[in-house]
Structure 1
Amino acid sequence: MRKSMRCQPIREADRYGEEERIIDESAARNATLEWRFDKVPINRVDVQRVEVFFKLRLPAYYVDIVLAHHGARPRPHRFDTEAKLGHTVKTFLPVIRRCPSNVYDVYEWIRDRLPAGCVPFASDECGNYICFEYKAGVQEPTVILWLHESGMCEPVADSYRDFLNRLY
């Protein structure tokens, strides 16, 4: 299944369906992201379960994307870190337990090696994970690449929206 997300103002019902507002229209990308191989549809309750499990608030733009393209693969899918060019996003992790390699399972597999405050949300082709990195006193998490062989992290983007904007 192929879906395209055209750049246009993104409307979001307030976190749990109360009011509608336009989200940061000025930050919209100039390109089109295609989403392939969506998993089963999810709803806001599924997202709330993830937030409760991790005791955090997921970025609103991530919630929009995961609701529209659950577990999908983006195209373009390459991104860079300061250390290496051309990493790839293999897939975004599903947020429901009945899907294999979901965010809960991945977190359980790597939690002892993952830095505090990190939550995996996507994987690359090499077994590494793209994670939100939550820091005390900062509302919006940054995006990092956690390298499974070394346990080291490489900064990727200042926000989830910035991460998607950097895909090429």
Structure 2
Amino acid sequence: MSIVWEGANQPVTLQMLKDMEVKLGIRFPKDFVECVIQNHGGHPFPDVFDFGNHKGAVFGRLLSLDTNEFESVQRIYEASSDELPDGVVPFALDPAGNLICFDYVHGKQSDPVVVFLYHEFALTRDDFEDLTETDRGGLTYDEFLREEAIRPICGSFSELLSMLHEGDGEE
């Protein structure tokens, strides 16, 4: 099934994308770059995917690469930076405000995996510091977030797109 992108912003230049990579200290994967240049800010259809025990997750929209947009990669990253482990960069939202992110767990210049960040389980660093050692389970902040708030979706952006299907109410 092919994907139709609705509500996308005007295409961005490769230079704008490169500037974003420099600001974030990462390299976006090629498959994401090819899609986001034309479709940033857009909503895919179909838009439902399943991962792990989570059935019916919704790919809300790609974050914009335009830093003037409210829902841009940079603004969401900066607003969420105190709740993101090192190397986790949001690129999309679901309708409930959870983040679909790249996880550069193997290095910021490597190809990232795709993860889902449940915002209601993501503690700030200050909140984490307030936990007792027992509640922390001997974990560092990044380890705690990866265990409590982040779930793997798939190995690549292309794989995520291939997982999209129509939801029960849309068929």
TM-score range, shorter chain: 0.7 to 0.9
Residue ranges of structure 1 left out of the alignment (5+ in a row): 1-30
Residue 136 of structure 1 deviates from its aligned partner by 2.8
1:84-123 → structure 2 map (5 Å cutoff): 84-123=54-93
- Pick from 110, 113, 116 the counterpart of residue 142 of structure 1: 113
Q: Is the 8 A contact 2:20 2:65 kept in 1?
A: yes
The structure with higher relative contact order (CA 8 Å, sep 6+) is 2
In 1, the alpha carbon distance for the partners of 2:19 and 2:53 equals 34
In 1, the alpha carbon distance for the partners of 2:83 and 2:67 equals 22
Residue 70 of structure 1 deviates from its aligned partner by 1.9
In 1, the alpha carbon distance for the partners of 2:40 and 2:150 equals 25
Q: Is the 8 A contact 2:29 2:112 kept in 1?
A: yes
- Pick from 154, 157, 166 the counterpart of residue 151 of structure 2: 154
Match of 2:142 in 1: none
Residue 96 of structure 1 deviates from its aligned partner by 1.3
Residue ranges of structure 2 left out of the alignment (5+ in a row): 123-148, 166-171
CA deviation map 1:72-93 (0-9, x unaligned): 1001101112131001011100
Residue 113 of structure 1 deviates from its aligned partner by 0.8
The structure where helix makes up a greater share of residues is 2
Give the share of equivalent positions with the same residue, in percent: 31
The structure where strand makes up a greater share of residues is 1
Match of 1:164 in 2: 161
1:38-117 → structure 2 map (5 Å cutoff): 38-117=8-87
Residue 99 of structure 1 deviates from its aligned partner by 1.5
The amino acid of 1:46's aligned partner reads M
